[in-house]
């Protein structure tokens, strides 16, 4: 996929990936078939409850646009969703093509990869990084510092609350990115993507500028298939163009489904 990341193999509910210098074994419910390589030598593995093995406390993974600082985190995470590579490329290219100052909002922004993809274009692209978890935002700040990006505004807030507040203030964005979880908890109760997707679309529409560049939506919810994401996005946001695709990880000639994506342009 890119030089510092590789999906080595997957199967029997697990996947083997190389992030920078380390090979990591993690659970993967989508990996139902048998692995093809036999046993893969790993540096560290996640067994569903804890990490086993030894790696540096932090290490780096470079992409064509930015570098990320990774570390072992709860839930088997390392600080990046590599299937989003397609979207990082898209974000960067769309911002380049716009050839003008842009305001970009990245919602559910985690450790900031998509924020960095936009910021990498230049200081004329003003990025707002929004996540409800302060540890995620702190991690994203560290990633921005690693790349020398200073033109990012950091917000720790519930996404829907923030969007509603921005709409009332008349603040608008030329590009909005959202990668919401299937389930979560916020100040207004339990979040369910399939149930709350229309509300998210409506809130995004209220903060879009009069000359938007793109809206990039991704997510993984069995109750919200890609075709339905696409249909709802068209109905709510009326784009001039829309494309949708799975965000797959590729191991040689095999694909491992990770998420769905819908991209809208005007």
Residue partners of 49: CB distance under 8 A and separation at least 6? none
Q: Measure Cα distances from 63 to 6, 51, 86, 215 in Å.
A: 12, 25, 12, 22
Stretch 229-248: mean pLDDT, rounded? Answer: 97
| CATH number for the domain whose boundaries are 5-59+72-76 | 2.60.40.1180
**pLDDT in the model for residue 83:** 98
Residue 140 has pLDDT above 80, yes or no: yes
**pLDDT in the model for residue 33:** 80
User: Residue 121 phi/psi, 5° resolution?
Assistant: -70, -35
For the chain, the structural domain boundaries read 5-59+72-76, 82-265
**pLDDT in the model for residue 37:** 79
Strand partners, 155: 130
Rounded-to-integer distance, Cα 175 and Cα 91, Å = 9
Cβ pair 224, 196 in contact under 8 A = no
- Tokens describing residue 92: 């960067």
Residue 77 has pLDDT above 90, yes or no: yes
**pLDDT in the model for residue 36:** 78
pLDDT digit string, tens, across residues 13-29: 999 999 999 999 999 99
Residue 141 has pLDDT above 80, yes or no: yes
Cβ pair 66, 117 in contact under 8 A = yes
Residue 189 has pLDDT above 80, yes or no: no
**pLDDT in the model for residue 79:** 99
pLDDT digit string, tens, across residues 202-216: 999 999 999 999 999
In this structure, whether the domain defined by 82-265 belongs to CATH 3.40.1360.10 is answered with: no
- Tokens describing residue 231: 């249909």
Rounded-to-integer distance, Cα 24 and Cα 61, Å = 13
Percentage with pLDDT > 70 across the chain: 99
Residue 44 has pLDDT above 90, yes or no: yes
> Does this chain's domain 5-59+72-76 share its CATH topology with 82-265?
no
User: Residue 42 phi/psi, 5° resolution?
Assistant: -125, 160
Q: Helix, strand, coil % (nearest 5) of the chain?
A: 30, 35, 35
**pLDDT in the model for residue 197:** 98
Give the torsion sign (CA, 187, 191, 196, 197): positive
């Amino acid at each position: 996929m890119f030089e510092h990341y590789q999906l080595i193999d997957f199967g029997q509910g697990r996947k083997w990936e190389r992030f920078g210098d380390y090979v990591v074994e993690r659970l993967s419910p989508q990996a139902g078939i048998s692995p093809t390589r036999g046993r893969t030598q790993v540096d560290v593995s996640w067994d569903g409850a804890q990490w086993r093995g030894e790696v540096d406390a932090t290490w780096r993974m470079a992409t064509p646009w930015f570098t990320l600082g990774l570390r072992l985190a709860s839930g088997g995470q390392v600080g990046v969703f590599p299937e989003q590579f397609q979207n990082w490329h898209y974000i960067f290219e769309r911002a380049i093509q716009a050839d003008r100052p842009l305001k970009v909002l990245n919602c559910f922004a985690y450790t900031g990869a998509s924020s960095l993809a936009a910021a990498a274009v230049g200081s004329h692209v003003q990025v707002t990084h929004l996540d409800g978890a302060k540890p995620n935002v702190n991690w994203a700040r560290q990633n921005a510092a690693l790349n020398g990006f200073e033109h990012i505004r950091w917000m720790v807030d519930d996404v829907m609350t923030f969007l509603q507040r921005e709409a009332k203030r008349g603040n608008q964005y030329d590009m909005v990115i959202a990668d919401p979880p299937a389930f979560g908890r916020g100040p207004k109760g339990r979040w369910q993507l399939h149930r709350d997707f229309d509300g998210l679309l409506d809130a995004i529409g209220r903060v879009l500028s009069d000359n938007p560049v793109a809206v990039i939506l991704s997510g993984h919810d069995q109750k919200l298939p890609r075709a339905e994401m696409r249909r709802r996005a068209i109905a709510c946001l009326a784009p001039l163009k829309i494309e949708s695709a799975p965000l797959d990880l590729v191991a040689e000639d095999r694909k491992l489904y990770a998420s769905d994506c819908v991209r809208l342009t005007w």
